[in-house]
């Protein structure tokens, strides 16, 4: 069975589909706004290799989330996302999958979940 056909079946797309946006993620996302505390690993910084951001998700799903930012972020950047409003901080390690410029000077950054962790700040 050709690879294109197998992938099309798994993604629920026609075999000849070239819609990259549909192939970008495998889980459905919802327009949920959730406050997150992000700790981002900055590889170019030696003294303090992490930066923290308070963000509100643009959408959220089983496989990841996206948010709007005034600054772009490199693909494959490591991210620790925590939900401090829960009784016990629930954190997820993720990595940036895409960064697209939106209208104006905002960027939509998509993060894929890699692993759940328990973290004490």
- Looking at the chain, the number of H-run helices and the number of E-run strands are 2, 7
Q: What is the DSSP letter of 25?
A: -
Domains and CATH numbers, the chain: 1-27 (no CATH), 31-118 (2.40.10.220)
Question: 90 vs 2, 3, 53, CA distance in Å?
Answer: 41, 38, 16
Q: Indicate the average pLDDT of the chain.
A: 74
For residue 101, the tally of other CB atoms under 10 A from its CB is 10
Note the pLDDT tens digit of each residue in 20-71: 444 455 655 556 677 778 888 766 655 667 888 888 888 888 889 999 999 9
Question: 100 vs 73, 74, 77, CA distance in Å?
Answer: 9, 10, 15
Note the pLDDT tens digit of each residue in 58-112: 888 888 999 999 999 999 998 988 887 766 667 889 999 999 998 888 999 999 9
């Amino acid at each position: 069975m050709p690879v294109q056909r197998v992938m099309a079946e798994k993604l629920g797309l026609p075999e000849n589909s070239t819609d990259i946006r549909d192939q970008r993620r495998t889980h459905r996302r919802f327009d949920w706004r959730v406050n997150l505390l992000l700790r981002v690993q900055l590889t170019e910084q030696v003294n303090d290799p992490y930066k923290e951001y308070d963000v509100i998700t643009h959408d959220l799903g089983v496989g990841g989330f996206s948010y709007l930012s005034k600054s772009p972020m490199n693909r494959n950047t490591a991210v620790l996302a925590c939900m401090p409003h829960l009784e016990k901080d629930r954190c997820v390690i993720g990595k940036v999958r895409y960064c697209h410029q939106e209208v104006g000077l905002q960027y939509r950054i998509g993060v894929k979940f890699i692993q759940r962790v328990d973290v004490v700040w």
